[in-house]
Amino acid sequence: MPVRHARALTVAAVLALSFATAASAQVVLWDQSDWNLNGDGSVNLSSSSCSQISGNTKAHTACDVHFDNPVHITTVRIYETLGNVQAATKAYLWIAPKTGPLPTAASTDVNNAANLKTITVATETKSGQQAAVVTCANLSIDLPAGDYWVSLTPQHSLGLFPYSVHRVITGGVVGDPTPTIVACTANSSWIYNLAPNKPDYAIKIEGTLPVPTLQTSWGRVKSIYR
């Protein structure tokens, strides 16, 4: 085999390996996980039914996020105060394009059985305070660059005070504040539970970014060694 062809094949193999590694490497796509230590937040849960007596409800928070590039989402995490959320094993995951300062989707689009995903709940400690980290992993969601609403709502009962609430972040609002929709009845009314402050809530999204195709790498090798 001529030396120049052997060199071309060697470089191509190295490039293929590096592209495969890059494609599988997890990165943080959106990070607003710096949760506030004071425990501020609002209810973000979907109970089996709604009751004024027990306080059970179906209230979904939605955070706005932005991606400069196309993304492949594998994990969505939110951060809550401790409570009944630790017993949750399922959550409603809803993602939709953002077209304005508030979502326009109906509650039935969000609180929909088709959106149920498996979750795990762990505990994170910061400055002596604890948060419940709700993780929805093993996803395979491809999105083009742009702005989106992302809602992850655990399925559990409200329980006894202190209730689990979706924690607010320590920094200022990025984009627009986090709204909530109550899905006990069919409606499209998104509201701010903590008005007039209207904070952002804690969320982190992980996944992978697009990488050059293997075919492109071969093309470059050939152009270098022809």
Over the stretch 78-103, which tens digit does the pLDDT of each residue have?
A: 999 999 999 999 999 999 999 999 99
| Tokens (6 digits) for 193 | 């539970």
- Taking the C-alpha atoms of residue 77 and residue 220, their distance in angstroms, rounded to an integer, is 39
Neighbour count for residue 213 (Cβ, 10 Å): 11
- Taking the C-alpha atoms of residue 39 and residue 169, their distance in angstroms, rounded to an integer, is 10
Torsion of CA 151, 155, 160, 163, to 10 degrees: -20
Amino acid identity, position 11: V
Cα–Cα nearest to 173, from 60, 76, 32: 32
Kindly indicate the confidence band of residue 226, based on its pLDDT and cuts at 50, 70 and 90: very low
pLDDT at 19: 41
pLDDT tens track for 46-82: 999 999 999 999 999 999 999 999 999 999 999 999 9
Kindly indicate the confidence band of residue 24, based on its pLDDT and cuts at 50, 70 and 90: low
Strands of 68-188, DSSP E = 71-80, 90-97, 116-118, 120-126, 129-136, 141-143, 146-154, 166-167, 180-182
What b-and-e string marks burial along 100-132, b requiring 16 or more CB atoms within 10 Å of the CB? eebbebebebbbeeebeeebebeeeeeeeeebb
Half-sphere exposure of 133 (CA within 13 A, CB side): 18
* Contacting residues for 196 by C-beta, under 8 A, at least 6 apart: none
